[in-house]
Structure 1
Amino acid sequence: MPIEVVAGVDELEGGFNPHTLADLSPTSSALAGLMLPSVFRPGPDGAPQLDTNLVESAEVVPDAEKFTVRYRIKRQASWSDGAPIAAEDFVYLWEQLRSQPGVADPAGYRLIEDVASRQGGKTVDVTFREPFAGWQSLFTNLLPAHLLRAAPRGWATVLDDGYPASGGPFAIRQIDLDRGEIILERNDRYWGPPAQSDRVVLRALDKPRQVEALRSGDSHLALFSPDATTLQSLRSLGDQVQLMTVPRPATMELLLRQDSRALADVRVRQAVLAALDRPALIEAGTGGGAPGDQLQAHAQVLAPSERGYTPTEPAGALPKQPDRSQVERLLTEAGYQRAGGTWLRDGRPLNLVIAAPFEHESYISIAEAAARQLRDLGIQATVVTPTGDQLFREMLATNPHSAEAGTAGTVDMAVAPRPAGGDPAATMASSYGCPGVDPDSEQPLPYNAAGFCDQLLQPTIDAALGGRLPFQQASANVESVLWRDAIALPLYQQAQVLALSKEARGVQPGFGFAGPFSTAAQWLGTPAENDGY
C-alpha cells in the first residue's frame, strides 16, 4: 500500500499562479511550495537562504560594469517532463512580472535590465539598472517556460488548472475541484532528497467536517481558517491534535481609489473611513476569534508578523467606531448636502462601488459589511464581485489618468490583499510606487492596485529600493502620506490554524512565510486504504 498524508484545507480555489494577486491563496501557496523551484527560501530566522538543491551559487559579480548577479543552476535540476530548469525559466518570470498587470511584487523585476544565458542555460547572469539590495527576494517559484511561453490562453489563465510540470518533490496526479480534492504523488524525476511519503492528498472540507476528520483519523492534518466555534471544537479534541497559528504572506486591506470620480476629494475618502467600523470589518473577514483577528494591521507596508513591523497609524487618525459628526463635517466641507437620507452634490448622490474578487468568500464578506456601514450613514454603496483576474488585471490596473479612469466601469473601493514576506523596500515600491515605462516598448507599465502615484514621494521610494536610503526612514515618509491621504485601510494579516494529529510525522509550520507544505517532503503518513486514486 502506498504511504499517504491527507491534509484538510479550507477550499480549493481555481487559479494556481503564485505570482498574481488574483491567485494569492492558501491553495496556490501550498502547491507552489511543493512543486515550484526557488533560488532562495526562508531560513530558520526567516531571512533568505540559498536553496542548494536548485543552485550551486548565487552571487553578485564583483567586477561587472553594472550590478550583476550570477546564478549557477545544478546540472541535474530538471522539470518532471525531463526538460532542464534553465535560464529560459528566469527570463520568462522576469518578462511576465515586470510587465503584466495584477502581479504581486513586480518592483524588483522592473529594475532588471537583462537576463543572459551562459553554459547551456545552466548559468544565468542578471543585470540590473542600479544596485538592488533585495535581489535575494527574486526568482522564487520559477515556472516551466518551455510549456507556458506558447500557451494559447496566455499568462492570465495559463495556470488555472494546475502546473503542467513540477520542479519539486511532488507532482500533480489529479485535480478535481468539483470533488474538492487534489492528489499529488512523489516526483520520481526530482533530483533532490526523495519525498518520504508516496502521495499527499489535499481535501477541501467545511469547518465541522475538518474537526470530525481529525477526530476520526481521516485527516492527518488540517490547515484552514476556523471561526470561533470551530476553534473551540478543535480545542475540545485535547491532546489528540496539536494546534499552531500559521501567518500568511498577505495583509487584507480596503483600498480607496483616488482616480474614482466619487473619491477624488481627500475629504470624501476621510469621511468614508470615519463611517467604517473597522473591528466589525475584521470580524466579517475572519469569522471572529480566528488567527487573523489576533494579527490586526496598523501599518501600510509591513504585515504584523514581519520582522521590523511597528504600527505607523497616527494617533486619532481613525475613529474607534463610526463617527457620524465627523462624516457630516467632512462631506459638508466637500460640497455635499444631506437630502432624504442621502448625500448629494450637484444633484448627484454619493454612491460608491466596492469590489471584491468573486473567488474569495472572506473578501466579499468584508465588502458587504463595509457597504452596510456606509449605507447606515447615508452613503450609498454597492458591492460588485468580478473575477480576480478582471479586478486585479483590468479594473485596478488602469492608468488613473487615462480616458478609462473614473468611468462607470471602474470601482471606487476594493478589498484586496497586500503581499508580504519579500524585500520590504520592493513591497513598498510595488504597492505604492509609480509604475514607470517599459524600456522596450516605451509603454506605461501597469499601476499598483491602489492606483496610487505621488511624484513627490517617488524619489524616496526609489532611494529605498536602491538601498540609498534606509527602509525605515523611507517608509516613515511614505506611510505618513498614505495615512493623511486615506489611500488604504489595513485590516488584518491573513493567518490559518495548523492542526496536527499524532499520526502526522515530520510536519513543521515552515520558516518565514513558507508554510507547512514547504516541509511536505519530510512528511511521513500511513498506508493508504487503497492503491488507486
Structure 2
Amino acid sequence: MSQGRRRPLAAVSLLVTTASLVAACTNAPPPPLVSETPTTQPPTSTAPAEQPMPVEVVVGVDELEGGFNPHTLADLSPTSSALASLMLPSVHRPGPDGRLQLDTTLMESAELVPDQEKFTVRYRIRREANWSDGAPIAAEDFVYLWQQLRSQPGVSDAAGYQLINDVASRQGGKTVDVTFAKPFPGWQSLFNNLLPAHLLRDAPRGWSTVLDDGYPASGGPFAIRQIDLDRGEIILERNDRYWGPPAQSDRISLRAIDKARQVEALRSGDSHLAVFGADTGTMQALRDLGDSVQLINVPRPATVEVLLRPDSRALADIKARQAVLAALDRPALIQAGTGGGPAEQLQSHAQVLAPSEPGYTPTEPAGAFPAKPDRARVEKLLDEAGYQRSGGAWMRDGRPLNLVIAAPFEHESYIRIAEEAARQLREQGIQATVVTPTGDQLFGEMLAANPKSGEPGGAASVDMAIAPRPAGGDAAANMAAAYGCPGVAADSEQPFPHNAAGFCDELLQPTIDAAMTGRVPFGEASSIVEPVLWRAAVALPLYQQAQVLALRPEVKGVEPGHGMSGPFSTAAQWLGTYADNDGY
C-alpha cells in the first residue's frame, strides 16, 4: 500500500478566538442529556480565594488530525466539525426542531428582497460582530466564501454557491445583498462557517492548506490557546472580546487518546466527557461504567460510500461496475469501517439523504445487492463486458482488470474499508491496489479533475474511492453537488469542478436543476434521480458516520446539539470544575 504525504503536525500556539457551529437541518434531537441550567459557579471543588484556578471542561476525542477547513471533503472530520462549531460564525443554525433558524447573535436579519428582477437575499450583520483581531465580520467574508466554494475543487457544499451571480456590500459592509441567477429555496443553508477573509484571501499557501494549522481569527465565545497535534491536545479559552453571552467555563481542553484510555479517563474522572468513535468492545466497556456515565449516539453530517468512477478506463462499462458491486460483501465493508460501533446502526440505503435526515427512506431496489458476493453474477457481467478468465485473472485486450482504490491517508476507517474491498475483489479474480494519497490530493486534485482529460495522476488513475458524502443542509443542493454535471461561472465562463464521482448524466440534469430551483419538489425529483443512480452503479452507500457521547455528572449544560450540529455546538453553556493547574 502506497502512502501519501502527511500534513505537517508541528505544535502551534495561536491566540485566536472561537465561535459556534452551523449544521444542517435534520430530525429533532433527543432531549438534553442534562436538564440543569448552568450557574455562574462550578459544581464541585473550592478554588483558592487569592487566585482561583480556571473552570475547565476536559473532553476526550478521537485522533486530532491536521486540517480544519469545514468546507472541504479532505477536512470533513470530527476534529474540523468540533472546532468549527466553537469558532466560526454562521448565519443560520438548527433550532430545537432541527430546522434552520437565524442566529440573532450574529445577524439582525436575513430575508428575501421583494420586487427584484432576480432572486435576491439581503443579510444585515450586527454592528458589534467582529473577528478576534478587531476586524468586522462583514460583506468581504461573504464574498470570500462564495468565491472559494463555487470554484475550488473538493469542497463539500458547492452547488448553492454556484447559483450566485453577485455578492454586494452595503452600509460599510454590514449589509450584504446576494443575487442569484435562479431562484434557490434552500438559500438558508448558505454562509455557514464564515471565514476571516481579510486574513485568508492573500495567504501564500492557498485554499487547500491555509487552515491546516488552525484559524488566524474567529468570532465566538472561545479562543484557541494552543494546538499541539503531536501531543494530541488543543486548549481553548474564553474569548473576552466576544460580543455575545460569555462562555460559562474558562477553558475547554480536547485530548486525543486511544479507546481504552478514553474509558479509563471517564472512569477516573480525568475526562468530564468524551466524544469519539467506539467499536463493539469499547461500547460494552462504557456500558460497564454503569450510571456514572450517560451514553448517547450522535450522528455526524456525512455518509461513507464507495465510489465507482464511470470514466475510469477499467470501469467505463456499466457491466464492469455492476460486476464489482456483485463481488463486494457490503456488511463486511460496514464492519470494517464502523467496528460495530454507533455508525453500524445507521446503515445507508439511499443515494442522497442520510439515515438521520428528515424524509429519509431506503431507495435501494429490492434484490440489488446479494447478502454475500455472487460469483456467478460477477462472471456473467464481466463476460458481457468483454472480459475472459485466464490464469486466475480477468483479461480484456491482453490487459488484466486491475482496479486502483483510493482512500485518504488521514482517515484510518476509510483505509480499512478500501483494504477490505480490495481483498474481496481479489477473491473474485479482480486485481485491486489500494493507494492512500492525502485528502487534499485525493479530493482537491485526483477526483476533482475532468474525468475525460486523461491527465497523468488525475481522475483517470483512480477507479474507486472511499469517500464521505456530506449530509444535512439543502437536500436538492446536496444532490446537485454529489451527482450534477459541472456548470459554468456566468461572470468568467470558467467551468466549475467535477463532482467526486465523476458522474454526469445530461438527461438527468434538468431534473436535478429543477429540484435546486424549486420548480420540482425534492421528493419528486429524487424519485426520478435515485433509480438512475442505482442502475448506473456509481456509488455504494455504506453508513452514516456517528460517534458516542459519554458524559460524567460533574459537567453541566452539555446537550447532543440540534439536528446534526453535535455536542460542541453547546460548548458555551458547558460548566466544568476547577482545574488542577492554570494550564499554561
Give TM-score scaled by structure 1 length. Answer: 0.99
1:217 aligned onto 2:269: yes
C-alpha separation in 1, matches of 2:346 and 2:418: 19
Distance in 1, matches of 2:111 and 2:492, equals: 30
Identical-pair percentage: 81
Q: How does 1:154-165 map to 2 (within 5 A)?
A: 154-165=206-217
Please point out which of 124, 139, 150 is paired with 2:202: 150
**Partner residue in 2 for 1:343:** 394
The CA distance in 2 between the partners of 1:531 and 1:292, in whole Å, is 37
User: Is the 2:486–2:499 Cα contact (8 Å) retained in structure 1?
Assistant: yes
More relative contact order in 1 or in 2 (CA 8 Å, sep 6+)?
2
Aligned AA for 1:236? D
Task: For 2:479 and 2:371, locate their aligned partners in 1 and report how far apart those are by CA, in whole Å.
Answer: 27
For residue 220 of structure 2, the aligned residue among 142, 145, 168 is: 168
What is aligned with 1:139?
A: 191
**1:123-522 residue pairs with structure 2 within 5 A?**
123-288=175-340, 290-404=341-455, 410-522=461-573
Matched, 1:78 2:130: yes
Post-superposition shift, 1:438? 2.0
Alpha-carbon distance change, 446 to 315 in structure 1, aligned in 2, over 3 angstroms: same
Alpha-carbon distance in 1 for matches of 2:551, 2:213? 28
Q: Deviations over 1:50-108 (max 9, x none)?
A: 00000010000012221100000000000111110000000000000000000002000
1:504 CA displacement: 1.5
Q: CA deviation at 1:405?
A: 7.6
**Equivalent residue pairs, number:** 532
Contact 1:93 1:143 (8 Å CA) reproduced: yes
- 1:361 and 1:407 map into 2 onto residues whose CA distance is 23
Q: Which runs of 4+ in 1 moved over 3 A?
A: 405-409
Counterpart-to-counterpart distance in 2, 1:435 and 1:48: 27
**Structure 1 residues 97-106 or 431-440, which shifts more?**
431-440
Q: How big is the shift at 1:532?
A: 3.0
CA distance in structure 2 between the partners assigned to 1:249 and 1:162 by the alignment: 21
- In the alignment, the residues of structure 2 paired with residue 120 and residue 319 of structure 1 have an alpha-carbon distance, to the nearest angstrom, of 61
> How far does residue 409 in structure 1 lie from its aligned partner after superposition?
6.2
Q: Does 1:99 align with 2:151?
A: yes
- Supply the AA of the counterpart residue of 1:218: D
Q: Within 1, Cα distance between the matches of 2:144 and 2:391? A: 56
Question: Which of 156, 169, 188 is equivalent to 1:117?
Answer: 169
**Is contact 2:89-2:193 (8 Å) kept?**
yes
Structure 2 Cα separation of the partners of residues 340 and 492 of structure 1: 36
Name 2:32's counterpart in structure 1: none
Query: In structure 2, how many angstroms separate the alpha carbons of the residues matched to 1:260 and 1:470?
Result: 33
Is contact 1:261–1:406 with CA below 8 Å preserved after alignment? no
**Contact 1:245-1:497 at 8 Å conserved across structures:** yes
CA distance in 2, matches of 1:532, 1:490: 44
Per mean C-alpha deviation after superposition, the further-off stretch among 350-359 and 396-405 is 396-405
Separation in structure 2 between the aligned mates of residue 295 and residue 224 of structure 1, nearest angstrom: 16
Instruction: Answer whether contact 1:301 1:428 (CA < 8 A) is retained.
Output: yes
CA distance in 2, matches of 1:405, 1:179: 38
Query: Which whole-Å deviations, capped at 9, do the CAs of 1:348-374 have from their partners, x for residues lacking one?
Result: 000000000000000000000000000
Q: Which amino acid is the alignment partner of residue 246 of structure 1? A: V
Amino acid of the residue matched to residue 481 of structure 1?
V
Aligned residue for 2:514, secondary structure, equals: helix
Matched letter for residue 366 of structure 1: I
What are structure 1's unaligned runs of at least 5 residues?
none
Q: How far apart, in 1, do the equivalents of 2:547 and 2:564 lie?
A: 12
Give how far 1:188 is off. Answer: 1.1
Report the alpha carbon displacement of residue 441 of structure 1 after superposing the two structures with TM. 2.7
Give the AA of the match of 1:322. P
CA distance in 2, matches of 1:117, 1:270: 50
Q: What is the aligned partner in structure 1 of residue 60 from structure 2?
A: 8
Contact 1:259–1:405 under 8 Å retained in 2? no
1:30 aligns with 2:71: no
The 1-side partners of 2:540 and 2:460 are apart by 23
Q: CA deviation at 1:435?
A: 1.0
Please state how far the C-alpha of 1:403 moved relative to its aligned partner: 3.5
Distance apart, 1:406 and its partner CA: 9.2
Q: For 1:59, which of 88, 102, 111 is the aligned residue?
A: 111
Deviation at 1:298, TM superposition (A): 0.1
The answer on whether the counterparts of 2:449 and 2:458 sit within 8 Å (CA) in structure 1 is no
Gaps of 5+ in 2: 1-52
User: TM-score when scaled to structure 2?
Assistant: 0.90
RMSD (Å) for aligned C-alpha atoms: 1.0
| Deviation of 1:129 (Å) | 0.5
> For residues 211 and 76 of structure 1, what CA distance do their matches in structure 2 show?
43
Q: 63, 66, 69: which is aligned to 2:121?
A: 69
Is the partner of 1:82 in helix, strand or coil? coil
The amino acid that maps onto 2:291 is D
